[in-house]
Amino acid sequence: MTSFNRSTSRRLKKLTQIPSVWEGDRRPLSSSQTQPRDPEGKGDCILWVDGSQGIVRGMDVVGTETGPEAVVRTLMRAMEHPHSPAKPARPQRIVVRDREIQFYLRGVLQDLDIAIDYAPELPLIDELFRSFGEILDSQIPDLPPQYAQALQEKAFTIWQASPWQFLEEQQILSIEINRWDVGKLYASVMGMLGMEYGILFYRSEESLKQFRAAVLRDEESQGRLEEAFLKQDCLFLTFERNDETDEEDDGDLADLPLSEVDPTFGNIHPLEGLRSVLYDEEALVVFVALESLNRFIRDHRRQMYADSFPSLSHRYRITLPHADEATKTVSVTVSTMPELAAELEEMAGLDIDDEIADSSMMFSSLRDDLIPEDSFLSLGVVSWEMLEYLRQGVTYHPVGEITKVGDGLPVILIQTSRPRAKTVIEHLEAAGGLKAICFNPGADPFDGNQYDLGLLQTHNNELFLFGEFLDDDPIHVEARKKWNQRCKNTKGYCGLIIAKGLTGSARGNPQLRDMMALFEARSLSPKDLGIGTLQLVPELQFE
């Protein structure tokens, strides 16, 4: 058994011994003192009170696995540094209701002339814990108990659907409910930048616009941003790492398994501020919004992966949890708002530069003679650190100031032999350099296949085919998703890397020494390119 150092014992014996009886106990933090100890609970509360004076001298909260030493540490603070208005002192007698604690204290405190007794009940501490229990019982839960499970399930369905993979924050969905004094909610999906994940349900279009305008206006002022944040009028669902996840792990939340993510619900209002609590009607509104949004994503997911935000609308009948027959269902209409999205993009300066937008002119031809047929091709990303090395070590053609957002610059990598790589670089330079990279739909009318065609646009407005991919190839679909997200992170900037080493050990995995040129460019959507779906004809073979 651990005991005090002799110097500690001498110091404690110098404290004035008062003719008082102190009560001490350790109990789990729960609203019911009759329920068994919960090993996954919030911990244990240790209390030391002066029964003679009726005051608390020391209190601490410790983990349930913490040993009996914690009881002694709290007792020492109760003697040497008690809560006000008590004075430092040691008691003549201590009473506990736990035999193990009694025997432990007798061994540890044997040199302090303090009697350690047992009593089955501790009136003052019992009363204190009853008060704690009443406080805990009176606390409002984060979610109404009758709706909590249903809301959690809908939240996890949203997490698995991952709408942030194809919806940007400014691509707003309206959810028309017309119930509980709510007409429409305006849903803004967060997560495409890989920083915060969730959905904001604005109660008005005006509140949404005001907040986004305030953020753009005051983005350099933390104080003003906080003020703008609290002036929102919305309900929210956000996702966070749960308490069991390593907080030092700074990886992307989206990479975590479902078991390590927790949803949080709440409300923001200019007069209420932020609260992570939903009341009954708010919980029903959020339930209906999440269920209708989940169905809309299920029905229109593929359409919303398009480069342009489509105009879609769908009506659903939602069954409410724990409702009587008269109010069991509610009719909800979910619609995309492309006009509002365009307005918000213009407000944020996300619209395509005039120089790029003007590229919808007619092109002289679509050529497939730039990239050698046996080249290795991949869609990927170059980290910002590696990008700096590339810019200094290879033939480099910059395009402008690129904001470093996300995991790096999205790039198309083309690896071929050294002589052919030099030829590709020379042809691009002769055409004025690379202007844009685009993926455009293509179709083969002979076999019915749909293609995603990779195109390079040079500054002399020529288009070169660099790759063709089946539209439903799951590997390419996933690569395109990441490409689109990264291009949105960089506000349309991307790059083309030409590398050598196709026939050597670096085939498929070129190192820095194999990379010969970096052409930075802008990413174009098919709408910006403006040439429509390309049809395979005998004069132009894709294969």
pLDDT digits (tens, 9 = 90+) for 155-195: 999 999 999 988 988 999 999 999 999 999 999 999 877 67
Distance CA 454, CA 47 (A): 70
| pLDDT, tens digit, 9 for 90 and up, residues 302-341 | 888 777 889 999 999 999 988 776 678 999 999 999 999 9
Band (362; pLDDT cuts 50, 70, 90): very low
pLDDT band of residue 76 (cuts 50, 70, 90) is very high
What are the DSSP calls for 287-354, one per residue? HHHHHHHHHHHHHHHHHHTSSS----EEEEEEEPTT--GGGSEEEEEEEE-HHHHHHHHHHHT-SPPH
Q: What is the mean pLDDT of residues 47-69?
A: 89
Band (pLDDT 50/70/90 cuts) for residue 64 is: confident
Half-sphere exposure of 63 (CA within 13 A, CB side): 4
Residue 239 in tokens: 């996702």
| pLDDT, tens only, 441-497 | 888 766 778 888 999 999 888 899 998 888 888 888 888 889 988 998 888 899 999
- Closest listed residue to residue 72, CA positions, set 17, 26, 27, 126: 26
**pLDDT confidence band for 201 (50 / 70 / 90):** very high
**Which residues are CB-neighbours of 113 under 8 A, at least 6 positions away?**
13, 17
Task: Name the residue with tokens 């290795």.
Answer: 376
- Return the closest-CA partner of residue 265 out of 161, 148, 140: 148
Residue 46: pLDDT band with limits 50, 70, 90: very high
Which contiguous run of DSSP H or E holds residue 534?
Answer: strand 534-535
pTM over 0.75: no
